[in-house]
Structure 1
Amino acid sequence: MGTSVVTASFALLCVFLLCEPSLQTEKHSLYYIYTALSKPVDQPGIYQFTAMGLLDDREIDYYNSKEQRKIPRQHWMKEKMQEDYWEKGTQSRKSKEQWFNVNVDILMKRMRHNESDVHVLQWRHGCEIEKNGDEVKFSKGIDEYSYDGANFLSFDDKESQWVAPVAAAVPTKRKWDNVTILNQYTKGYLEKECVDWLNKFREYGDEVIRKGSPPEVHVFAKRCTRDKTKLELTCFATGFYPKDVILSIRKYRSPLPEKEIESSGVRPNHDGTYQLKKTVIIQEDEKADYDCVVSHSTLNETIITKWDGTCPDCGSSLVIGIVIGAVLVIVVVAAVCLYLFMTKRLSEYYYMITDSGHTAFNIFL
């Protein structure tokens, strides 16, 4: 009886000892997800093409077919990455958008799907690592495509070849496996380049969190929704970390009473920083000097931002109509140019710029 208890205790101790290293192991990931629709959808917030980068499941950058600009989603990404990085990233996303537009059409024809329906082509690629102390080890790489939510094609990193789970993907597998440079590049990106970027992004993010992030301060006015004869003057501070901040609205350099001010309270941003908005109601013809004063632990001196006295949305409806008309003309011209460009895309092979700015080799499906 005693021997059994000792044996059981020893076995339990061994389990704890064996499990201890795994409790210290950190897992991190970097993924890029691209989603393309076969045609536009008339719903707000849904675009024909979108792309995003995810570090440990937190969005770090974003692109859509409307703005056509790769933008930072984390405050530290905006601080740390040079403008050249975002310019190259924008070109990368634009080239991928063109690639997807062609390939959605290819798959629809191959599947004999109706063009009146909306079909979705998605690509996810990236890597995962395990970190134990100072040791960083590549865990796995993923490069996979899906069509209408079902697996279409994936890359076997160990065998350096493509896997076709459905018959419609077999022609693509054969074509891509015959291009050795494509498979070599894909394996190299997943195991080396992706891991390097993952480690760099994590280092940048951790550094900013340690030293904090200063606020950006904006002051603006708009027409009051409750009383059209008055204005809502707003002081907006955002992007700061830690969350403790002091914000006041002043008139002739004297703080306004808090009872006259509406506050949003400190709220979290999507990137781990915080924001605070305070608003006061003033007369439309107000000529007084208003400013916004913000104090934060990351600042060497207080930020004082003065209101310029303007109200952008208080202009005449004629001016607004002219602006809207000009925008519509630009959109129509851009659509025509895109159509003419796409009709000329008859080549089989395609070069595009990667997110890191390098030129990569890719092939149509």
Structure 2
Amino acid sequence: MKIFALLCVFLLYGALPSLQAEKHSLYYIYTGLSKPVDLPGIYQFSAMGLLDDRQIDYYNSKDQRKIPKQDWIKEKMQQDYWEKGTQSRKSKEQWFNVNIDILMKRMGHNESDLHVLQWRHGCEVEQDGDEVKFSKGINEYGFDGEDLMFFDIKESQWVATVDAALPTKRKWDNVPILNQYTKGYLEKECVDWLNKFREYADEDLRNSSLPDVHMFAKKNSDDRSKLKLSCMATGFFPKDVQLTIMKNQKHLPDDEIESTGVRPNHDGSYQMRKSVEVKEEEKAEYDCSVQHRKLQQPILIKVGN
């Protein structure tokens, strides 16, 4: 950790590998600073909830209110949910203030320097058809960008990654019922909230935005007989996508392909681009296939389509 990630479809061109099971996640991230900083949008304490990588709620030490960040959660969750959430965030803010000081003293840090304590907890599930399975639970702390301690869900105990975290690990492990609660929260309660939020989510979240796909070519400035052929898919959500460049209906080796990986757009959707260097006279032999779970069939295009 460094706190700050279907069925097979067949074409006339042959079989595409199947997409992995649908993945969903719910995470909460808390960030506390050892002292205030005079920067816009940076607070001594802040917290946010993320459902499938989209922010659903937010709290900061200036406004001291847990607020919705998506229309669907604002409409579906009652006022007492936000009131209780605000009180919970205030309690965690106080906890952070106390424990940052404790950690700084244990590590011998100067109070004049800025230090950052972070906490992330949540869960991930995999959905295959109607079946939803718990796949991962995370509860972890970091200090100044380095790992501090994490909860080992299999062993139901905390693991300290630095000496300064050992007293806290021993203290928490000394109360087995708290570790049992942590394990139960990650495996059950978190998953229940994740599933509830997904049911409530608006069409933009539940029904994927479809990819807009383009294929284009650019001349190589060093060798005019060659082109850089690129295929780009953008505007899709969630981020799971399969983009393939083929030559004469055959997949190209990975070592011939340059990929940006999946990247976020400003509107919460995602984009991905892959490129390959080709001979100009062979341009027509290449095409691009994009598979996304909400497409009824893959999109297949050539340069200029």
TM-score by length of 1: 0.52
Q: Secondary structure at the match of 1:95?
A: helix
**2:200 is the alignment partner of 1:204:** yes
Q: Does 1:106 align with 2:102?
A: yes
Structure with the largest fraction of helix: 1
The one-letter code matched in structure 1 to 2:165 is: A
Q: 1:66 aligned to 2:62? A: yes
Determine which of 75, 100, 112 is the counterpart of 1:79: 75
Q: What is the aligned partner in structure 2 of residue 182 from structure 1? A: 178
Residue 164 (str. 1) matches residue 164 (str. 2): no
CA gap of 1:210–1:30, structure 2 versus 1, over 3 A, is: closer
Larger radius of gyration: 1
- Which of 122, 132, 135 aligns to 1:136? It is 132
SS of equivalent to 1:29: strand
Distance 1:91 1:204 in 2: 23
Q: Deviations over 1:112-169 (max 9, x none)?
A: 1000001000000000000000000000100000001100000000110001111111
Partner deviation per Cα, 1:47-105 (whole Å, 9 max, x = no partner)? 00000000011000000000000000001111111111101100010000000000000
Task: Indicate the SS of the match to 1:28.
Answer: strand
Match of 2:143 among 140, 147, 163: 147
Matched with 1:29 is: 25
Q: Distance in 1 between matches of 2:205 and 2:45?
A: 32
Residue type at the aligned position of 1:182: L
1:122 — aligned with what? 118
SS in 2 for 1:158: coil
Long gaps (5+) in structure 1: 1-15, 212-267, 273-365
- Which amino acid letter does the alignment assign opposite residue 57 of structure 2? D
Paired residue secondary structure (1:115): coil
Contact 2:48/2:55 (<8 A) preserved:
yes
2:72–2:202: 8 Å Cα contact kept in structure 1?
no
- Does the C-alpha gap of structure 1 residues 210 and 195 become closer, same or farther in structure 2, counting only changes over 3 Å? closer
How far apart are residue 42 of structure 1 and its match?
1.1
Distance 2:93 2:192 in 1: 25
SS at match of 2:201: helix
Taking the aligned partners of 2:54 and 2:78, their CA distance within structure 1 comes to 21
Aligned residue in 2 for 1:42: 38
Q: What RMSD in Å do the two structures reach over aligned CA positions? A: 2.1
**How far 1:208 sits from its partner (Å)?**
7.5
Counterpart of 1:168 in 2: which secondary structure?
A: helix
Deviation at 1:210, TM superposition (A): 7.5
Deviations 1:274-318 (A, max 9, x none): xxxxxxxxxxxxxxxxxxxxxxxxxxxxxxxxxxxxxxxxxxxxx
- Letter aligned with residue 73 of structure 1: K
**TM-score, normalised relative to structure 2:** 0.62
4+ long deviations beyond 6 Å: 208-211
What are structure 2's unaligned runs of at least 5 residues? 1-14, 208-264, 270-305
Structure 1 residue 174: deviation in Å? Answer: 1.1
Q: Structure 2 matches for 1:1-365, cutoff 5 A?
A: 20=18, 23=19, 25-206=21-202
| Residue deviations 1:241-294 (CA, integer Å, cap 9, x gap) | xxxxxxxxxxxxxxxxxxxxxxxxxxx99678xxxxxxxxxxxxxxxxxxxxxx
Q: Cα deviations across residues 25-64 of structure 1 (Å, max 9, x unaligned)?
A: 1000000000000010011111000000000110000000
Q: For residue 53 of structure 1, what is the amino acid of its counterpart?
A: G
State whether residues 121 and 145 of structure 1, in contact with CA within 8 Å, keep that contact through their aligned partners in structure 2.
yes
**SS state of the match for residue 135, structure 2?**
strand
Deviations 1:213-243 (A, max 9, x none): xxxxxxxxxxxxxxxxxxxxxxxxxxxxxxx
CA distance in 1, matches of 2:205, 2:113: 46
Q: Which has the higher strand share?
A: 2
